[in-house]
A and B are shown apart, each in its own frame.
Chain A
Amino acid sequence: MPGVDAPARAYPWTALWVLVLAGVLAMALAVAVGSVPLGAADLWAVFTGGGNELQRDLIWSLRAPRALAAFATGGLLALAGALMQVLLRNPLADPYVLGLSGGAAVGALGAMLLGAGAVLVSGSAFAGALLSTLLVFGLARGGGSWTPTRLLLTGVVVAAGWSAVISFLLTMSPAERLPGMLYWLMGDLSHAGAPGWAWLVLVVAVAAMLPLGRPLNVLARGPLQAAALGVAVRPLETSVYVLASLVTAVAVTTAGSVGFVGLIVPHLLRLVLGNDQRLILPASALAGGILLTLADTLARILLAPQQLPVGVITALLGVPVFLFLLYRSR
């Protein structure tokens, strides 16, 4: 029976090294290309401390911070997606399934409508994301305990509520504010300033998740089986939920609600690498970073000097690749 055997994973760590290498190449590409062409010699000059002021500005002030922000955001989203899928034991879950991006969007758009600046928009998005997280968690708990199904259902309904509020905000907005709002909703990295925070959160989150990889493998077999195998199910689920929410909130705050990365990247990796969370979680972070870095590079150069929102590219890239792999894998 061809195709029934799980993909070979004799060298699981090789996969991670390949992804690290691909990540470096993606970053290099993102720094090398843009609407102003720079030759290899120019790039080398800038990297060795030379180059003229324009070239240094292009590389160090524009391309490098943006590529770093893209990588961190993609990594955060894919990591959050992988975690949510295990937590909810539902392969359709993504970082936004629990209404988190809706809460963030309402926060961000509300701030934009009031004419707030970038810092306030980000802060407001973060607050909205956390508010939504608490709301969903509190409601799903209800009087008793929460189950993944209850959490999922609560999240989906809360998300629907947010999207109605988003439509309302868009309707109420003056024409000139609309492009900014729409770009935020589709995900956009052009104003992702200092990526330091996102990177810090990404590294800490991956490190925090590594020892949870095996318990999550066990949790994927269902909570009863996991408990029987010695996993403290409720504390594990709660910490995964909190961590995934925080990670998503940081990503959304950096780049708006970029779609598809969190859903597609963990799936692609599962199709290729199997389902060991110890491998999938760090691999998701790397592959998500690579995907978003490449997508953002395309968004910058495809119609240069005009810019596209990166969310459009992730969807246009991700959806066909995903469908193709799914079709082939049966």
Chain B
Amino acid sequence: MSVLETRELIIDVPGRVSGRALSLRIEPGQRWGILGPNGAGKTTLLHTLAGLRAPRSGQVLLDGKPLSQWRRRQVAQRLAVVFQERQDGFPATVLETALIGRHPFLPPWRMETAADLEQARNALRLLDLSHLEPRLVSTLSGGERQRLALATALAQQPALWLADEPTNHLDLHHQVAVMRLLEQQSQQGAGLCLCLHDLNLAARWCDRVLLLYPDGELCHGPADAMLILEALEKLYRQRLMVTEINGTRVFLPG
């Protein structure tokens, strides 16, 4: 299992002052939720954590070694990224798309093995996409594409998940199914780091929370300690109401 750590990290949001440096560790089994209003830098942070974007200063370390010293292929064997936006300029089927999750594990000359195919099919099954295997991605609905992106990451069998709005476009049933799946992953030892815009998903599924402010300020800690009405109202500059259902806090705009 792998650990992702940041040391004095300042992400590079063009035109913004540096703000507070971030030092945190995403340990196996932890479920981090990143919360913040639009433009706070959630996606930028996620990409920086994935090593897809250089930080302004500070370091991101994977298993104690700076990310920049890893080969991309080895990073991809440990860490999966679910992007918010996707490009599909060229036609590809659902199964092919899930199969590219196996790419980091295959030597250049090797075709996918039966085991790879099995893993991709399994991921599709877990995300309720088996019946769409031969379909072209371009014919899928937004929610189906979102689940396909998660299935591709699942086929990667990552020790760390970096997911940008994993429940985007999903109906309520699939939102719960996806969060449950991610929870299972964390119970099996994977570390999760999810950008979320739905407070209630964070409250229900995350055990650690990072609040990102538009001015570069931030704070993080256990979910219970962070999801305080006053802090969240300041974060979103929006009056909120809170109630509790079955032991879980539920936030509503006031």
Q: A4-B139, A5-B136, A276-B96 are in contact. Are A214 and B103 (CB under 8 A)?
A: yes
- Does the CB pair A230–B108 fall under 8 Å? no
- Does the CB pair B134–A6 fall under 8 Å? yes
User: Is A56 engaged at the interface, CB distance under 8 Å to the other chain?
Assistant: no
Among the 9-residue stretches B75-83, B193-201, B224-232, the one with 4 or more Cβ atoms under 8 Å from chain A is B75-83
User: Is B104 engaged at the interface, CB distance under 8 Å to the other chain?
Assistant: yes
Chain B 61-84 interface residues, beta-carbon cutoff 8 Å to A: 71-77, 80-81, 83
Q: A1-B139, A211-B109 are in contact. Are A228 and B52 (CB under 8 A)?
A: yes
Return chain A residues, CB-CB under 8 Å to B108: 211-212, 214-215
CB distance from A250 to the nearest CB of B (A): 25
Return chain B residues, CB-CB under 8 Å to A89: 87, 89-90
User: Is A177 engaged at the interface, CB distance under 8 Å to the other chain?
Assistant: no
By beta carbon, the residue of chain A nearest B92 is: A275
- Neighbour of B103 across the interface among A224, A230, A274, CB < 8 A: A230
Tally of A-B Cβ pairs under 8 angstroms: 97
Chain A 32-79 interface residues, beta-carbon cutoff 8 Å to B: none
Chain A 235-278 interface residues, beta-carbon cutoff 8 Å to B: 270, 274-276, 278
User: Is A292 engaged at the interface, CB distance under 8 Å to the other chain?
Assistant: no
- Does the CB pair B96–A220 fall under 8 Å? no
- Neighbour of B90 across the interface among A1, A91, A224, CB < 8 A: A91
Q: Which of A90, A210, A230, A232 has the most CB of B within 10 A?
A: A230
- Neighbour of A5 across the interface among B50, B83, B87, B134, CB < 8 A: B134
Return chain A residues, CB-CB under 8 Å to B90: 85-86, 89, 91, 220, 270, 275
Return chain A residues, CB-CB under 8 Å to B139: 1, 4
User: Is A229 engaged at the interface, CB distance under 8 Å to the other chain?
Assistant: yes
- A185 vs B81: C-alpha distance when bound (angstroms): 48
Q: Which of B47, B52, B77 has the most CB of A within 10 A?
A: B52
- Neighbour of A224 across the interface among B52, B73, B80, B156, CB < 8 A: B52
CB distance from B4 to the nearest CB of A (A): 14
- Does the CB pair B86–A222 fall under 8 Å? yes
- Does the CB pair A225–B83 fall under 8 Å? yes
By beta carbon, the residue of chain A nearest B111 is: A278
Return chain B residues, CB-CB under 8 Å to A231: 72-73, 103
CB distance from A225 to the nearest CB of B (A): 6
- Does the CB pair B76–A229 fall under 8 Å? yes
Return chain A residues, CB-CB under 8 Å to B88: 221
User: Is A227 engaged at the interface, CB distance under 8 Å to the other chain?
Assistant: yes
Return chain A residues, CB-CB under 8 Å to B18: none
By beta carbon, the residue of chain A nearest B89 is: A89
- Does the CB pair B135–A221 fall under 8 Å? no
Q: A91-B90, A211-B108 are in contact. Are A224 and B83 (CB under 8 A)?
A: yes
Return chain A residues, CB-CB under 8 Å to B134: 5-6
By beta carbon, the residue of chain A nearest B153 is: A228
Return chain A residues, CB-CB under 8 Å to B109: 210-211
CB distance from A270 to the nearest CB of B (A): 7
- A1 vs B141: C-alpha distance when bound (angstroms): 14
User: Is B247 engaged at the interface, CB distance under 8 Å to the other chain?
Assistant: no
- Does the CB pair B89–A6 fall under 8 Å? no
User: Is A173 engaged at the interface, CB distance under 8 Å to the other chain?
Assistant: no
By beta carbon, the residue of chain B nearest A12 is: B111
Contact with B along A281-324 (1 / 0, CB 8 A): 00000000000000000000000000000000000000000000
- Does the CB pair B80–A228 fall under 8 Å? yes
Q: Which of A5, A86, A214 has the most CB of B within 10 A?
A: A214
Q: Give the interface of B toward A (CB within 8 A).
A: 47, 50, 52, 71-77, 80-81, 83, 86-93, 96-97, 100-101, 103-104, 106, 108-109, 111, 134-136, 139, 156
Q: Give the interface of A toward B (CB within 8 A).
A: 1, 4-6, 85-86, 89-91, 210-212, 214-215, 217-218, 220-222, 224-225, 227-232, 270, 274-276, 278
A–B complex contacts, Cβ < 8 Å, 5 sampled: A1-B139, A6-B135, A224-B81, A227-B52, A274-B93
Contacts A89-B90, A230-B103, A232-B72 aside, 8 further interface pairs with beta carbons under 8 A come to A6-B135, A212-B108, A221-B88, A221-B100, A227-B52, A228-B76, A228-B81, A232-B71
